């Protein structure tokens, strides 16, 4: 893990119910500048994310992996000097002090739950942060968190190994394909 880098850990993934939401969480991590995505669950749940990376880039700059014991992952993360942020509507609303101290810390692991999250994560995270205290979406919460943490700077990023990319246009589609 690198100084200043951000990883996202998705816990509690329910293979059928959460398959699309978890994919959205992973793609948000990638698009908003995280260095990696870690899923509690089986490797087979990462198929569609791998496909996106293969087309749109990130093979070298965005790592993905599955783990079977996420608590152990968190414990080792902290032992290595990393900080842990758990996104939850029960936490302290984002902004101000906590955001600044996260920006000045070492690597940050952002924990994103599905369904009910075990008390352990509330107690063992350095920060429990709410993106508003209303129920909405872990996909939205992660996006806002990463956007605020980076000061909005990650949204224009590209991936050098992309086979396909988009050039924004006013009323149509402009897709660039790189010749093999």
User: Are β-strands 164-166 and 175-177 bridged in parallel, bridged antiparallel, or unpaired?
Assistant: antiparallel
Work out which of 24, 71, 83, 163 binds a copy of itself, going by CB under 8 A.
24
Tokens at 173, concatenated: 């589609």
**Mapped to the 3 state alphabet, what secondary structure does the chain carry?**
CCCCCEEEEECCCCCCCCHHHHHHHHHHHHHCCCCEEEEECCHHHHHHHHHHHHHHCCCCCCEEEEECCHHHHHHHHHHCCCEEEEEEEEEEECCCHHHHHHHCCCCEEEEECCCCCCHHHHHHCCEEEECCCCCCCHHHHHHHHHHHHCCCHHHHCCCCCCCEEECCCCCCCCEEECCC
Per-residue x/- marks for a copy of itself, 158-177, CB under 8 A? -x-----xxxxxxxxxxx--
Part in contact with a copy of itself (CB under 8 A); list of ranges 4-12, 39-47, 103-111, 141-149: 141-149
Please tell me whether residue 16 binds a copy of itself under the rule CB under 8 A: no
Please tell me whether residue 47 binds a copy of itself under the rule CB under 8 A: no
Work out which of 8, 12, 84, 128 binds a copy of itself, going by CB under 8 A.
128
Please tell me whether residue 2 binds a copy of itself under the rule CB under 8 A: no
Please tell me whether residue 153 binds a copy of itself under the rule CB under 8 A: no
In terms of CB distance, is 68 or 109 closer to a copy of itself?
109
Work out which of 17, 50, 72, 178 binds a copy of itself, going by CB under 8 A.
17
Q: How far is the CB of 56 from a copy of itself (least distance, A)?
A: 6
Part in contact with a copy of itself (CB under 8 A); list of ranges 1-9, 76-84, 102-110, 120-128: 120-128
Tokens at 10, concatenated: 């998705």
Do residues 89 and 117 lie in contact, with contact meaning Cβ atoms separated by under 8 Å?
A: no
Return residues touching a copy of itself (CB under 8 A): 17, 20-21, 24, 27-28, 30-32, 52, 56, 89-95, 122-123, 125, 128, 130-137, 139-144, 147-148, 152, 154-157, 159, 165-175
């Amino acid at each position: 893990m690198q100084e200043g880098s951000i990883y996202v850990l998705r816990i509690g993934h329910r293979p059928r119910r959460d398959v699309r939401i978890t994919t959205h969480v992973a793609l948000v991590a990638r698009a908003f500048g995280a260095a990696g995505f870690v899923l509690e669950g089986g490797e087979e749940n990462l198929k569609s994310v791998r496909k996106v990376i293969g087309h749109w880039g990130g093979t070298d700059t965005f790592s993905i992996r599955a783990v079977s014991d996420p608590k152990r992952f968190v414990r080792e993360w902290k032992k290595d000097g990393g900080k842990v942020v758990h996104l939850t509507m029960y936490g302290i609303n984002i902004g101000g002090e906590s955001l600044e101290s996260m920006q000045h810390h070492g690597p940050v692991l952002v924990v994103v739950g599905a369904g009910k999250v075990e008390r352990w994560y509330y107690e063992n995270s350095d920060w429990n942060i709410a993106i508003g205290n209303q129920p909405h979406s872990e996909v939205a919460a992660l996006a806002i968190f990463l956007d605020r943490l980076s000061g909005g700077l990650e949204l224009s990023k590209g991936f050098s190994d992309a086979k396909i990319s988009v050039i924004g246009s006013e009323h149509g589609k402009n897709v660039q394909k790189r010749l093999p």
